[in-house]
């Protein structure tokens, strides 16, 4: 708990809400006249990255791009400020969990999201992604923002069932003269990269949609699509791009939904969807044809509440385990002795897309020792 400190004289930090990547996220409140107050999220670049110019540039870019994207399915950026050498990004507070936490927590409880809910989350995310891809300047010129980091951790689901895309820190707006990517470098969460990106090609609308297809496949199937012992093996799997049919693992999912995912994860960019809007249109048709429930936001909200309950119970069990002290025996240690070691942790649950935290990496494609693979679709 860090209640008390003020940022820019008006944002009061309340507690740490999350750690990861290059930033810490706080829950905070902003106060106004007549008792007005609103909860906000504050993202602060971590101290170890403050002296790295490239990371500072990425953080500033996230603020710049986020401030120009206004859409119900994108986390809104309210303000950007600095204090005592630190930068703070003030954002909309989403009262919920990310898709990775949602899926992973349910998986550990032996459950999974129903395919209609996965479809609903995908439609919401794609609508936000489409708004970024179709962004225009004040002059009306098309200036797409490529997200470059579409992954379960960057898809938030509120307790009300609303779906929000966040974290444009790696984004590349076409109106910017200089890319934030060093030539020959691949950026993003490794297992969600498109095949052409691993070959050093530029990120694009097609690569974002490929990442979204991977997310959909993993949440439905409950496992990594491109998983291996090391990064190099993951690269090889991505380049081969063998995507098993969704119904192999989820026979309850409609064939038409599997077909959408198959198209989105095609090896060659030209074989994928041309736009997020086109992919949404196909998903809406699947929902209509299958008679998917209309009150999906309510159902999503219930799933979020269920996951929160499961997480709270897990925390209580962990705290209870730590508080257990062995009964005193004839040779019990004196009260001033060091406390006993913590009991061994429970065996980890089976790996799932959300259990293991993805790491943002930078790999020089020039250092890879594998030959570039053909973009022709491999035989299955």
Active-site residue list:
149
Contact 42, 89 (CB under 8 A): yes
End-to-end CA distance of the chain: 53
d(Cα 198, Cα 201) in Å, to the nearest integer?
7
Q: With CA atoms as reference, report the closest residue to 287 among 161, 127, 119.
A: 119
- Phi, psi torsion values for 123, nearest 5 degrees: -65, -45
> Cα 163–166–171 angle (5° rounding)?
140
Residues 6+ apart with CB under 8 A from 88: 7, 8, 11, 42, 43, 44, 80, 81, 82
Rounded to an integer, what distance in angstroms lies between the CA atom of residue 363 and that of residue 372?
A: 15
Write out the E strands in 131-236.
145-146, 155-158, 163-165, 172-173, 185-189
Q: How far apart are CA 156 and CA 133, in angstroms?
A: 19
Contact (Cβ atoms closer than 8 angstroms) between residue 171 and residue 189:
no
- Phi-psi bin for 46: left (phi > 0), alpha (psi -120 to 50), beta? beta
Helix axes 276-290, 255-264, angle to 10 degrees: 170
CB atoms within 10 A of CB 377: 12
Total length of the chain: 380
Q: DSSP of 258-314, one letter per residue?
A: HHHHHHHT-SSGGGS-S-HHHHHHHHHHHHHHHT--S-HHHHHHHHHHHHHHHHHHH
Q: Which of 169, 168, 165 is nearest to 155 (CA)?
A: 165
């Amino acid at each position: 708990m860090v209640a008390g400190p003020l940022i820019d004289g008006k944002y009061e930090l309340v507690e740490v809400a999350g750690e990861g990547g290059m930033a810490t996220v706080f829950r905070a409140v902003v106060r106004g006249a007549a008792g007005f107050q609103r909860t906000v999220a504050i993202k602060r670049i971590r101290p170890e990255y403050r002296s790295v110019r490239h990371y500072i540039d990425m953080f500033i870019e996230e603020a710049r791009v986020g401030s120009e994207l206004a859409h119900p399915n994108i986390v809104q950026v309210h303000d950007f400020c600095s204090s005592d050498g630190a930068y703070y990004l003030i954002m909309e507070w989403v009262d919920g969990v990310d898709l990775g936490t949602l899926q992973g927590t349910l998986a550990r409880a032996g459950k999974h999201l129903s395919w209609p809910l996965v479809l609903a989350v995908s439609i919401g995310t794609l609508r936000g992604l489409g708004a970024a891809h179709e962004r225009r300047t004040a002059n009306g010129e098309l200036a797409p923002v490529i997200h470059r980091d579409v992954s379960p951790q960057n898809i938030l689901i509120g307790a009300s069932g609303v779906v929000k895309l966040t974290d444009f820190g790696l984004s590349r707006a076409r109106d910017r003269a200089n890319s934030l990517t060093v030539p020959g470098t691949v950026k993003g969460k490794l297992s969600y990269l498109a095949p052409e990106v691993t070959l050093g090609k530029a990120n694009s609308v097609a690569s974002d949609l490929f990442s979204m297809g991977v997310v959909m496949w993993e949440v439905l199937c409950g496992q990594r699509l491109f998983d291996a012992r090391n990064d190099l093996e993951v690269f090889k799997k991505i380049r081969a791009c063998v995507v098993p049919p969704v119904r192999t693992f989820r026979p309850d999912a409609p064939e038409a939904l599997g077909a959408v995912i198959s198209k989105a994860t095609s090896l060659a960019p030209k074989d994928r969807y041309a736009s997020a809007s086109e992919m949404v249109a196909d998903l809406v048709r699947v929902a209509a044809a299958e008679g998917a429930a209309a009150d999906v936001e309510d159902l999503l909200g219930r799933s979020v509440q269920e996951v929160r309950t499961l997480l709270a119970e897990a925390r209580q069990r962990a705290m209870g385990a730590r508080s257990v002290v062995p009964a005193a025996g004839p040779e019990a240690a004196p009260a001033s002795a060091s406390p006993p070691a913590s009991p061994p942790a429970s065996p980890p649950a089976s790996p799932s897309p959300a259990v293991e935290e993805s790491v943002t990496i930078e790999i020089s494609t020039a250092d890879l020792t594998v030959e570039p693979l053909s973009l022709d679709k491999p035989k299955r």
